[in-house]
Amino acid sequence: MQYLYTARDKTGRIKTGGGDFADEKTLAIFLRDQGLLLTKSTAQAQTVEKKSIMEKIPLINRVSLMDKIFFTQNLQVMMKAGVSLSQTLKTLGEQTTNKTLQAALMQIRNGVEAGQPLSRGLTLYPKIFPELYINMVAAGEASGKLEEILGELLLQMKKDHELMSKIKGAMMYPAVIFVVMIAVMVAMMVFIIPNLTSIFTELKAQLPLPTRIVMAISDFLIHQGIWVAILLAVMLVIFRYFTKRTVSGRKYWHGFLLKLPIFGSIIQKINLARFSRTISALLKTDIPIVQSFEITARVVGNFHYQQTILEAAAQVKKGLSITETFVRYPKLYPPVINQMIKVGEETGTLDNILLTIAQFYEEDVENISKNLSSIIEPVLIVFLAGGVGTVAVSVMMPMLDLVNHI
């Protein structure tokens, strides 16, 4: 059941939100664990709408980061222009081509017209608007600085998009080379080698070991290739489930990724940049530091960063400093990070210090991404040449032997 709730923290500050809970008692227990006291809750009726087949396909129906960037940007611009929130949501809902976002905005608009704050409407769509987004909007509404907060959110999302786009762009060409390499090898094994095998068989040629190995692989792919493909597909599904859905799987896989040459360093810097910018943005909106850390833990992608950030939040609850946790994980948080955070805690400028850290790592990732292709391409080309060369040599060896015996 979807619930909208109002709660108070220990200082008496009112907080609103929503989510899926079995009943009101479950909601109250959840809020109590967050240090909040439930004061009011409203159960929302679940509306079931008929969807087309296309709308049921997740990848087609997904609201992308760019969709959210355009929405947030236009929302900020229209609010600055003095357009009412209800009219803004109506206009943006009509303009967007994404059916999922369109339906969400129309429903949120209905809530706004009924007197609900925007943040409460956003809580009904956690798959579209993450916790970070909802909490920052709620903070903007509470402080009367929603336009300013939307600007912070917009910057946060744009930086995240730029960072990932640069990495994906840098990996595109090496990925194409890798696919071509696999395609060439499979084509040689399936179409070229069998013809040569029949020729060598007719000539009763004595085949060297490398040639026999290549021909055995070719024969296996031709007769058992479909089963190999099915097995690989099943293994991929199991692997994705293990690394996405299980705690132990995520722990070991994310740890392995951090240890990879080149890529491990990039993953570390992306997580540090995302952690620093998110915490900085949340602190600027006066969201309590413990809550800011708990939200950020759900924003960073790597399991080990999530755990250490939650551990730091628990330490802060006890009155200890952030760096007392981070200093125990030097491979995740370099000493310079701990020193800068310590200075920020002592001087009361933690939000600005973290923003500086975020900018540093974002620039670092950008510089690395520019050179990433030039580092990976030669390695892949060597593998491509080595693979094709090995097959070519194994085929040429018996041919040369036949020529020598003529």
Is 143 part of any domain? no
- Residue 280: the pLDDT is 92
Q: pLDDT tens, 320-334?
A: 899 999 999 999 999
The CATH number of the domain holding residue 231 is: 1.20.81.30
- Pair (177, 162) in one structural domain: yes
- Residue 285: the pLDDT is 84
- Residue 48: the pLDDT is 39
Is 239 part of any domain? yes
Torsion of CA 178, 182, 183, 188, to 10 degrees: 140
- Residue 144: the pLDDT is 85
Q: Residue 325 and residue 166: Cα distance in Å, rounded?
A: 32
Does residue 75 have a pLDDT over 90?
Answer: yes
Averaged over 13-21, what is the pLDDT? Answer: 69
Does residue 382 have a pLDDT over 90?
Answer: no
Task: Please count the structural domains in the chain.
Answer: 3
Does residue 379 have a pLDDT over 90?
Answer: no
- Angle at the Cα of 21 (from 114 to 25), degrees rounded to 5? 100
Element (H, E) at 11: none
Averaged over 145-157, what is the pLDDT? Answer: 90
Amino acid occupying residue 331 = K
Q: Mean of the per-residue pLDDT values for the chain?
A: 85
pLDDT band at 209 (very low <50, low <70, confident <90, very high): confident
- Pair (232, 84) in one structural domain: no
Is 144 part of any domain? no
pLDDT band at 50 (very low <50, low <70, confident <90, very high): very low
Does residue 52 have a pLDDT over 70?
Answer: no
- Pair (184, 324) in one structural domain: yes
Among the listed residues 380, 385, 401, 403, the one whose alpha carbon sits nearest the alpha carbon of residue 210: 401
Is 135 part of any domain? no
Does residue 225 have a pLDDT over 90?
Answer: no
Residue with tokens 């087309």: 52
- Pair (220, 349) in one structural domain: yes
- Pair (258, 364) in one structural domain: yes
Which is more confident, 36 or 150? 150
DSSP H helical segments within 123-192, as ranges? 131-143, 146-187
- Pair (344, 272) in one structural domain: yes
Is 316 part of any domain? yes
Residue 338 · residue 327 · CB < 8 Å: yes
Averaged over 183-192, what is the pLDDT? Answer: 86
Per the structure, the complete domain to which residue 95 belongs is given by 51-129
Is 149 part of any domain? no
- Pair (194, 282) in one structural domain: yes
Among the listed residues 67, 21, 11, the one whose alpha carbon sits nearest the alpha carbon of residue 44: 21
Q: At what angle do helices 350-404 and 263-284 cross, to 10 degrees?
A: 160
Does residue 242 have a pLDDT over 90?
Answer: yes
For residues 58-84, b (16+ Cβ closer than 10 Å) or e, as one string? Answer: eeeeebeeebbbbbbbebbebeeeeee
Its pTM stands at: 0.74
Which is more confident, 80 or 174? 80
- Pair (380, 241) in one structural domain: yes
- Pair (175, 61) in one structural domain: no
Q: How many CB atoms lie within 10 A of CB 322?
A: 22
Handedness of CA 308, 314, 320, 322 (dihedral sign): positive
Averaged over 374-394, what is the pLDDT? Answer: 82
Does residue 340 have a pLDDT over 60?
Answer: yes
- Residue 46: the pLDDT is 46
Chain-centre distance of CA 313, in angstroms?
A: 22
- Pair (235, 346) in one structural domain: yes
- Pair (88, 179) in one structural domain: no
Which is more confident, 187 or 32? 187
Q: pLDDT tens, 76-123?
A: 999 999 999 999 999 999 999 899 999 999 999 988 888 889 998 998
The distance between the two most distant Cα atoms of the chain, rounded to a whole number of Å, is: 98
- Pair (246, 387) in one structural domain: yes
For residues 161-199, b (16+ Cβ closer than 10 Å) or e, as one string? Answer: eebeebbeebbeebeebeeebeeebeebbeeebeebbee
Taking phi first (over 0 means left), then psi (-120 to 50 degrees means alpha), and beta for anything else, what does residue 262 get? Answer: left
Taking phi first (over 0 means left), then psi (-120 to 50 degrees means alpha), and beta for anything else, what does residue 319 get? Answer: left
3-state secondary structure 234-296: HHHHHHHHHHHHCHHHHHHHHHHHHHCCCHHHHHHHHHHHHHHHHHHHHHHCCCCHHHHHHHH
Is 148 part of any domain? no
The alpha-carbon radius of gyration of the chain (Å, integer) is: 28
Does residue 58 have a pLDDT over 60?
Answer: no
pLDDT above 70 as % of the chain: 91
Is 140 part of any domain? no
